[in-house]
Chains A and B, each alone.
Chain A
C-alpha cells in the first residue's frame, strides 16, 4: 500500500526567510503528487500538483515543488515566506500504477511564520 512521510511535524520560520517542507512517498511505478494547504477550521485547498511533464511545478503564490523519482520525494519550497503562509501543509499521492483513485496523505507539517 502507498504511504507518505512528512518528516517534520512543525516548522517555525521567520518572515521573509526561505522554507522547505519535506515529503517522501513509498516507491511506485507511476504516481500523481499533490500539496494541499489547510487553514484553521477549514477544508483543504489544492496548492500544486505533479501529473506528468516538467518535474518542477509552481503555484500562483510563490510555492514550488520538485518531483524526484529516484529519491521518491516531492519537497515543497518557498524562497520568502509571509505571515499569511501560516497553515498546515499536506503532501498526498495517488498510485496511478495500481489504478487507484484515492489520495493517500501524510500526517501534515504545521508551518508557523514568525514576524
Chain B
C-alpha cells in the first residue's frame, strides 16, 4: 500500500518564475492538505482540498493556489516566486471524516 507520494523531490527555480508541485494521496484518502516548512521551523498550513474544492486556507498570499483532481491527487502552484518561498513543501492526506493527516516526503524548493 503506497503512502503519500510527491514529485519532484527537489526543484531549483529563479525569482519571478512559477512552479507546480504534485501530490498523490494514500490509497483510500480523499482529502489533501499542503504545508510549507521553512528551514528550522515547523510546518505552516497553506490550504486543504476536499471534493475538488478548497475547504480551508491558511495565511498565504494569492500567489499560492491549488487544485484537486477527481482521483484526489493535488497540485500546488506558486506564481512570481520570491527568495522567501524556498522551503520544504509537504503534502498530507487523510480519509473522509478523519483528522489524522499522513505526510509525504516533501518537495525541496530552492529559489535563487
Residues of A whose CB lies within 8 Å of any CB of B are 4, 32, 36, 42-46, 49, 51, 90, 92, 94, 96, 100-108
Contacts and interface: CB of A to CB of B under 8 A. Distances in A.
A106 B29 CA distance: 25
A46 B105 CA distance: 13
Which 6 A-B pairs rank lowest in CB-CB distance, beginning with the nearest?
Answer: A105-B42, A102-B45, A44-B103, A43-B103, A43-B105, A107-B42
Interface in B64-100: 90, 92, 99-100
A49 B99 CA distance: 10
Nearest to B56: A101
Contacts of B41: 107-108
A43 B45 contact: no
A106 B41 CA distance: 8
**How many residues of B sit at the interface, in one of the four size bands?**
20 to 34
B25 interface: no
A42 B105 contact: yes
A71 B83 CA distance: 39
Nearest to A91: B42
Nearest to A110: B40
A44 B43 contact: yes
Contacts of A104: 45
B58 interface: yes
